[in-house]
Amino acid sequence: MNRNIITVPVRRVESGSNVTEQDLVAVEEPLQIRVNGSDFAITMRTPGQDRELAAGFLLSEGIVHGASQIAGIASDERGTVTVTLAPGVEVNVAGRNFYVTSSCGVCGKASIDGLRATDCPTLARGIPKVPGSLISELPDKLRTAQPVFAHTGGLHAAGLFDSAGNLVAAREDVGRHNAVDKLIGAALLGGKIPLSNNILMLSGRISFELVQKALMAGIPIVAAVGAPSSLAIETALQFGLTLIGFVRGQRYNVYAGHDRLV
């Protein structure tokens, strides 16, 4: 079984003294994603939920739009996920081989125009309506669902909540984009896409790639404890997504889609 935590020796220095101790750190390893027998992408991730990660990645790329388009998906102990698409679902793998680091989810999209070209779902305006006070509760609820972070302090997290603020699912990974792909992939494989009545809560900042993934999954509200990028804000405004940053205590900033908050 793949491990997501390992023990390493460290020299701990404090108040002029130093001692050798064992420390827990999060694992980072490559995952090869293969589609219909051909290499498609390599991503650096924390092992675990690899099938979900691959499924979420393919949804974000616009390769698949529903669970019925995946005929089979299998992972092995060597760090490979093999996806077989359903008959009639085709993708030209040539020239689309991505290498994705744990810090950047490039995902093949260079602009908002590229996102529009993937048949991104249209979000229903003003739906769902959620109490503004609910947003402030989400970081603490997400933190309780981060067991590996509690041991290592080295992972990002993504949480999916319903419009009443109940935690539906959470995923952790060394990469922000991987955590979101795992979360979306689980919903995809469970036949729950689009996630039109949900909120995505992030433990870090909001980049364009994360807004892209939310849109492809039909998620109407994205909130984070960190800041959004300029392109994330521009994308949210153009596609009608509610974008909330700096959720800390009882305060936060709404950068787009304030009409969903009541």
Q: Of the candidates 178, 188, 136, 130, which has an alpha carbon nearest to the alpha carbon of residue 157?
A: 178
Measured CA to CA, the distance from residue 115 to residue 235 in angstroms comes to 9
SS3 annotation, 36-95: CCEEEEEEEECCCCHHHHHHHHHHHCCCCCCHHHEEEEEECCCCEEEEEECCCCCCCCCC
Q: How far apart are the first and last CA of the chain?
A: 46
Is residue 247 within 8 Å of residue 143, measured between CB atoms? no
Q: How many residues does the chain have?
A: 262
H/E run at residue 11? strand 5-14
Measured CA to CA, the distance from residue 135 to residue 139 in angstroms comes to 8
Residue in 71, 74, 104, 262 annotated catalytic: 104
Q: Catalytic site residue 104? A: yes
Q: Of the candidates 111, 119, 37, 137, which has an alpha carbon nearest to the alpha carbon of residue 81?
A: 37
In the block, which residue shows the tokens 């989810």? 105
Is residue 199 within 8 Å of residue 247, measured between CB atoms? no
Beta-bridge partner residues of 29:
45
* Residues known to be catalytic: 104
